[in-house]
Amino acid sequence: MATGIMQPWMPPQLEELAGGVEVLMEYKEREERLEEKHIVKLDVLEEDLEGLCVSKVLFENCSFQDCSFTKAEFTDVIFQSCDFSNSNFSDGYFSRCRFLSSKGLGARFCGSVIQNVVIKDCNLNYVNFDSSKLEKIRIEETQMTGGNISQCKCKAITWTNVILESASFFKTPLRGMDFTTCNLSGLSLSDELTELKGAVVDLYQAAELAKRLGLVIKS
């Protein structure tokens, strides 16, 4: 279980960020850390923000669709009611972050390091975490249909009421993870289902998975 997840550290007051996407571009171009800001209703489309460093920032009702955040760093950051669908966060770093009531359809986090993160009440259908390192993560009340969590290194992850229908955990060991409240229909796994060794499922889930091995369940 994902015990001891560290909370984002935020100062008592955050400065409201004035300006639009050009302000973010200035931080990127100056290689300056964007920090201690409250950013509200910012609408960014198809921008290249590669390598942006963000710390102690609350993004609220912001949209970052089809943007590139490759190699970006997010520390002590909260995304509240944001949309980052089809954006690319690959090779990024996330620590002590929260994704709350947000949407990230088809977002890519491939090869990222993600730790001490909470994802709650989000729509992350078709999200891609391929080859990422995931540690101390809590995912709750979230849709991840068709998500790709393949070839990941996972430690201390909690799944609660997560829709993982047709998701891929190919070559991702799931030992110790409890999926009893989750929808696991149509999971993509290796032929031997070795990823499931040590995972916790309920009787119904176990029966469905057993069919993948050619077993016949008699009542």
Nearest-angstrom CA–CA distance, 72 and 1:
28
- Residue 124, classified by CB atoms within 10 Å of its CB into exposed (0-12), middle (13-18) or buried (19+), is buried
pLDDT in tens, 187-206: 999 988 899 999 999 999 99
Mean pLDDT, the chain, whole residue set: 94
Confidence (pTM): 0.94
Tell me, what's the pLDDT at 180? 97
* pLDDT band with cut points at 50, 70 and 90 for residue 119: very high
Give 78's pLDDT tier (boundaries 50, 70, 90).
very high
CB 191 within 8 A of CB 171: no
Nearest to 159 by CA among 141, 146, 171: 141
pLDDT higher than threshold 90 for residue 11? yes
1-15, 40-54, 56-70, 142-156: which has the minimum mean pLDDT?
Answer: 1-15
Q: pLDDT tens digits for 85-107?
A: 999 999 999 999 999 999 999 99
Residue % of the chain over a pLDDT of 90: 87
pLDDT at 118 over 60: yes
CA angle 81, 87, 90 (to 5 degrees): 115
pLDDT bin (cut points 50, 70, 90) of residue 219 is: low
- Evaluate if residue 2 carries a pLDDT over 60: no
- At 31, is the pLDDT very low, low, confident or very high (cuts 50, 70, 90)? very high
Going along the chain from its start, the domains and CATH numbers come out as 15-168 (2.160.20.80)
Q: Helix or strand or coil: residue 135? A: strand
